[in-house]
Amino acid sequence: MEKRELAGRMVLPIGLGCMNLSWAYGDPPPHEQKVALLERALELGYDHFDTANVYGLGANETLLGEAIMDRRGDFLLASKTGIVVHGPARGIDCRPEAMLASLDESLARLKSDRIDLFYMHRFDPKVPIADMVGALSRAIEAGKIGAYGVSEWGAAHIREAHAVHPMAAVQAEYSLWTRNPEIAVLETTRELGIAFVAFSPVARGALGGELRDPATLAEKDLRRTMPRFDADNWPRNLALIDRFDALAAQAGIAPAQLALAWLLAQGPHVHVIPGTTSIAHLEENFATLSLNVAPDLLASAGALINQSTVSGPRYSPAAQATVDTEDFAS
């Protein structure tokens, strides 16, 4: 598959989401396994690595700084700011002074003088968009970041920000079973010439071919708080997943590969950043780039799993309240 433009650079459309090397899905692997996975990613040809200051409260950026910054010229580096954590509570702070201080802290942890793509991790309704974008445009002028993006912003706010200073990328959860970007954001990014970066493209592991019982997930696994994995919704979703796995098996590919191929077919501006702690899965995901998946198979996958067939909302009400991307329920 040909490379696609992202933040002024041509990269492969499958990048590496680094979050779960440090946080969110159970206990992270030992440090040496994390380093080995990142090194293997570079060996394979991954050239887009995505992290954030909040992943492990800085631990993920520190990991990348230690493990792969000796190859800094070989990849596009993306990070994020804006989510703040105070003990068990989370909030959003995109005040200019807060973001610029956070940027300097991220650069220090990453051992880099520049982040190629710097996202506002969530929309902050307390701060005027012109002020938020203005701060990041000054960071671009200073050479600290190459471009800015936003994560989980709605279409109207994307347009407003892009009018202040051109936006390089929009990141949002997008997969066969999370179609919210199709309401407005996907078309908005296409129209404005903004790259779209899909996180959780394998439905938070549900379409990865292995998860059978969420009750086996680690106690602190983030998915335990998500309605689609609860005891009411999971049996119905698992029935869909079984049919999806059969589709992939009939084509001789892995379920995750079918999920990624479907996303990449949604537009030439679409990128995906699956995360993993497994080198085997890392290799499997990357191999999707060499597959030629039939359009009728992609259509069948999309008809099988979509916003009308999946059971349960993507987030709890409290988590959904922090998301600006348009929601089918509203």
Q: If you average pLDDT over residues 307-313, what whole number do you get?
A: 97
Positive or negative, the CA dihedral 154, 98, 50, 249 is negative
Specify the pLDDT at position 88. Answer: 74
The CATH number of the domain where 83 resides is what?
A: 3.20.20.100
Q: How confident is the model at residue 315 (pLDDT cuts 50, 70, 90)?
A: very high
Q: What range does the domain containing 136 cover?
A: 4-203+257-292
Specify the pLDDT at position 329. Answer: 83
55 included as an active-site residue: yes
CA atoms within 13 A on the CB side of 39: 9
Tell me: pLDDT of 32 over 80: yes
Block residue for tokens 């959780």: 200
Beta strands 4-6; 9-11: pairing state: antiparallel
Catalytic residue among 25, 55, 119, 315: 55
- Which among 199, 250, 207, 224 has a CA at the least distance from the CA of 315? 224
Lowest-confidence segment of 111-115, 156-160, 236-240, 315-319 by average pLDDT: 315-319
317, two tokens: 């009400």
Assess if residue 211 is contained within a domain.
no
How many DSSP H helices and E strands does the chain contain?
11, 12
Q: How confident is the model at residue 89 (pLDDT cuts 50, 70, 90)?
A: confident
pLDDT digit string, tens, across residues 274-292: 999 999 999 999 999 999 9
Q: Which residues of 221-240 are buried (b: 16+ CB within 10 A; e: fewer)?
A: bbbeebbbbbeebbeebbeb
Separation of alpha carbons 260 and 248, rounded Å = 12
Assess if residue 316 is contained within a domain.
no
Return the number of other C-beta atoms located less than 10 Å from residue 104's C-beta.
Answer: 11
Assess if residue 224 is contained within a domain.
no
Q: If you average pLDDT over residues 124-137, what whole number do you get?
A: 98
Separation of alpha carbons 79 and 19, rounded Å = 11
Assess if residue 223 is contained within a domain.
no
Assess if residue 14 is contained within a domain.
yes
Positive or negative, the CA dihedral 1, 186, 312, 225 is positive
Assess if residue 235 is contained within a domain.
no
Tell me: pLDDT of 90 over 90: no
Assess if residue 62 is contained within a domain.
yes
Tally the domains of the chain.
Answer: 1
- Which among 223, 201, 200, 222 has a CA at the least distance from the CA of 213? 223
Q: How confident is the model at residue 26 (pLDDT cuts 50, 70, 90)?
A: confident
pLDDT digit string, tens, across residues 201-241: 999 999 999 999 999 999 989 999 999 999 999 999 999 99
Q: How confident is the model at residue 86 (pLDDT cuts 50, 70, 90)?
A: confident
Assess if residue 160 is contained within a domain.
yes
Residues 6+ apart with CB under 8 A from 237: 177, 206, 228, 310, 311, 312
280, β-bridge pairs? none
